[in-house]
Amino acid sequence: MTHPDREDIHLIGSYSDLTAGDTNKALHTFVYSDKNAWQKFLKIFFLTLGTGFFVAGVIFFFAYNWNNLHKFIKIGIAEGLVILPILAAVLFSKMNPMLRKTLITASAVFVGVLFAVFGQVYQTGADSFDLFFNWTLCVTIWAIAAGFAPLWLIWIVLVNVSWGLYNTQYGTESSMLSFMLGTFIFNSLCLIVTLSLKKSTEHRIPTWFAVTLALIVAYFVTTALAYKYYDRSGNQIVIYFVLAALLYSWMVWYSIRNKTIVYPAIAGASTIIIITSRIISDSWSAVALLLACLFVAGSITGLVIVLMKLQKTWANEKNS
């Protein structure tokens, strides 16, 4: 164990003769951010920010001058934006791994631009679903090869958008049901796999990536149950409630085991919104609004108390 994390240090401290001072020293050495860690963070942050501004600037520059360009120039520019970052990442393979992966991510974004330009120039008749679906297929290969969390997040977003466009363009009146259920299942599986592999893989998965997935899942669960995206017979709501209850229970179990309060907070906030919407969904009367206000105040207070107790308990375990 060359790089133990917070949970590893607390586990070792609980079953060994390490003192509180030794535990704090280990936390400062392996967990807490020092000057070098902040410099690395700022370097990655500004690299990502600069890449994003560059990609956006290129897109808006050519969008402004688009009508004055020949169609071959348009396609050539789009292809160049895809090929050049990949060539740079391959030819300069000894460069900083973060920079190489950032170039691959930029190239993956430009693939969508290439498909859009090609469809516009040659009037292929491809709709939005075809664009995003083919974009997703291409990004899949690069996401697997790069193993870069931001690129995987782009891939997950593309899958959700493609599924939504398919249901919008080719679905029936009940397509929203399959869309919400499909996105919930897909993103839930992504979250479960991410959290399961977070401590078992050689390259640690960033915490922000798992939290972002949890927020995406909570969004679809909350939207589906709060805004009645289910059939009138009531069968769909049972499926949603059961799946959501199972997932949220697993998130709480995972959080207790790994001593982190972010996932119970997300699950609790989502549950509060769902129940509040159900209280006022059928009636906007004064009584319903009063009950909703009382419930929100009480439930949020209770959630904060529970989370603070958990945090205090874990803090006492660390110091014991």
pLDDT tens string 127-148 = 778 888 888 998 898 888 888 8
Domain boundaries, the chain: 33-162, 172-320
pLDDT score recorded for residue 266: 92
Question: What pLDDT, on a 0 to 100 scale, did the predictor assign at position 26?
Answer: 65
- The pLDDT value given to residue 186: 92
What is the model's pTM? 0.74
Q: What is the mean pLDDT of each run of 10 residues along the chain (320 residues)?
A: 59 62 63 69 77 76 68 77 81 74 84 78 68 88 85 92 83 67 88 82 75 91 71 62 88 86 90 84 76 88 89 71
pLDDT of residue 291: 86
Confidence at residue 231, expressed as pLDDT on a 0 to 100 scale: 46
Mind spelling out the 3-state secondary structure of the chain?
A: CCCCCHHHHHHHHHCCCCCHHHHHHHHHHHCCCCHHHHHHHHHHHHHHHHHHHHHHHHHHHHHHCHHHCCHHHHHHHHHHHHHHHHHHHHHCCCCCHHHHHHHHHHHHHHHHHHHHHHHHHHCCCCCHHHHHHHHHHHHHHHHHHHCCHHHHHHHHHHHHHHHHHHHHHHCCCCHHHHHHHHHHHHHHHHHHHHHHHCCCCCCCCCHHHHHHHHHHHHHHHHHHHHCCCCCCCCHHHHHHHHHHHHHHHHHHHHHHHHCCCHHHHHHHHHHHHHHHHHHHHCCCCHHHHHHHHHHHHHHHHHHHHHHHHHHHHHHHHHHC
Q: What's the confidence (pLDDT) of residue 33? A: 61
pLDDT digits (tens, 9 = 90+) for 227-275: 654 444 456 667 778 888 899 999 889 888 888 888 999 999 988 888 8
